[in-house]
Amino acid sequence: KYLEGGKAAGGQLVDQRLCPRISEGEVRMLMVGDVLQMMIHKKPEGGGLSAVGGNSAYTYYKPGSPEYAKLEDDFVNRDIPQLMKALEIENDPLPILWTGDFIPVDGKEPGSTDYVVGEFNCSCVGISKFQAVCGGDKTLADVPDEDYYDASELTDLMGKTAIKFIEAKKAA
């Protein structure tokens, strides 16, 4: 159905190359508006190629972590402004909660790593530190204290960002 009626009818197909190093995991940039809140390395478990659906081990990094310093700098300071300009949304706010997911690929220099975008997501973004209590009989009271604190930092930032967006809209 995606191709039905061809391009004139809105048919589309995205051809994305296979990135075999996805087995090493992907790096998620968790954003609140234009602020990087954390980076999450999601490595598929069991030798798989997909880090979705909770089938992965998560390692969390704060902004400025040396493991992903170049990726962070490129994404936040170069790529986002370029993308916003290309999409003609440079004067619009970014979503309150969204992600950019990056897959490692071999770099130009032997032994180096570059990253390509796997996806941008703003329609279904979870709060990873609360993930263990999604569904079932568990509640936020079952979240370990450290995870609760980290997740609360994120949700507090989301609330402050939402207030800024509302105030900017009222002032316009």
| 148-163 pLDDT per residue, tens | 888 888 899 999 999 9
User: pLDDT digit string (tens) for 86-143?
Assistant: 999 998 999 999 999 999 999 999 999 999 998 899 887 878 788 777 777 888 888 8
- Give the number of C-alpha atoms closer than 13 A to the C-alpha of residue 57, restricted to the C-beta side: 8
**From CA 144, how far away is CA 149, in angstroms rounded?**
9
**Confidence check: pLDDT of 54 > 80:** no
User: pLDDT digit string (tens) for 25-36?
Assistant: 999 999 999 999
Contact call for residues 56 and 24 (beta carbons, < 8 A): no
Report DSSP state, residue 161: H
Alpha helices in the chain (DSSP H): 69-73, 80-86, 145-171
pTM over 0.75, yes/no: yes
